Amino acid sequence: MEHKTDGTQRMELKDKQLSGIGVMKGGMARKTRIDGVASVREDLDSESLVVNGTADFKGSIKAGNIDINGMAGVAGQLVTELCLVNGKLSVEESMVAREIKVNGGLKVHGSCKSERLICEGKLKLDALSTGELRLKLEGKSIIRELTASRIEVVGESGWSRSVWQKLLPMSTENGLSAQTIKGDDIYLERTTAGIVRGARVVIGDGCEVGLVEYSGELDVHRGAVVREQRRV
């Protein structure tokens, strides 16, 4: 994925910056930075976007790199190369990124596509398609349809909560809920799923799965429940 803009045009663009509380216009920019609380009215197309605080984007975002430290909401689509979230990001439509790193929470109402997604916290996604998913659970994650080459979902034991995770509401449940999970190499803990399909599958502690279909190897932890397993 490339963030392309005519080089001459990009050099002529100005930076956008807001400090404090206010409203920012969208449009095209070289670099965009928000320190405080901001509402961005239109679509934003920027080489980079940094949010330190809270931002409400009324339109869509296209940016090379996005760095969110706090909370951000996007009413439209989000397209980026690299998205770093320390806090919480919510996208009303779809999200496309090369790499996504989340320390806190990510919510996407539409489809989410990436080459790699790493999260320590919780995810709420309608459909995720990625090359690699690494999820360390903190609270309740929901991914209706999950497709990835490599999937690793582990519980929170053995790692400490970050500052931003401590600010997020605690959930009485800690786990991943999914309708379908498809991949090549799959390792799951504390996951409830209707169907899991993969080549090499490990169903770890705290899992409850309706059907596992596997073509290579299957390992079911004694603390897991698999109602039906089928080699295909």
CA distance linking residue 147 with residue 164, whole number of Å: 28
Report whether 77 contacts 92 (CB < 8 A): no
Interval 80-90: pLDDT, tens: 999 999 999 99
User: Which one-letter amino acid corresponds to residue 9?
Assistant: Q
Predicted local confidence at residue 38, as pLDDT: 98
Closest CA to 190 of 218, 148, 155: 155
Lowest-confidence region among 10-19, 102-111, 202-211: 10-19
Interval 28-62: pLDDT, tens: 999 999 999 999 999 999 999 999 999 999 999 99
Predicted local confidence at residue 160, as pLDDT: 47
DSSP track, 29-88:
EEEEEEEEEEEE-S-EEEEEEEEEEEEEESS-EEEEEEEEEEEEEESS-EEEEEEEEEEE
Indicate if the pLDDT at residue 172 is higher than 80: no
Indicate if the pLDDT at residue 103 is higher than 80: yes
H/E element holding 167? helix 163-167
Indicate if the pLDDT at residue 158 is higher than 60: no
Report whether 118 contacts 154 (CB < 8 A): no
Predicted local confidence at residue 165, as pLDDT: 47
Q: Is the pTM of this model over 0.85?
A: yes
Task: List the domain boundaries for the chain.
Answer: 94-231
Q: Nearest 5°: CA angle at 116, between 114 and 122?
A: 90
User: Any bridge partners for residue 11, and if so which?
Assistant: none
Predicted local confidence at residue 12, as pLDDT: 80
Report whether 93 contacts 113 (CB < 8 A): no
CA distance linking residue 184 with residue 152, whole number of Å: 11
Closest CA to 38 of 49, 23, 52: 23
Closest CA to 46 of 7, 13, 77: 13
Predicted local confidence at residue 6, as pLDDT: 53
CA distance linking residue 55 with residue 35, whole number of Å: 9
pLDDT over 90, % of the chain: 86
CB contact set of 160 (below 8 Å; sequence gap of 6+)? none
Average pLDDT score over residue span 210-214: 98
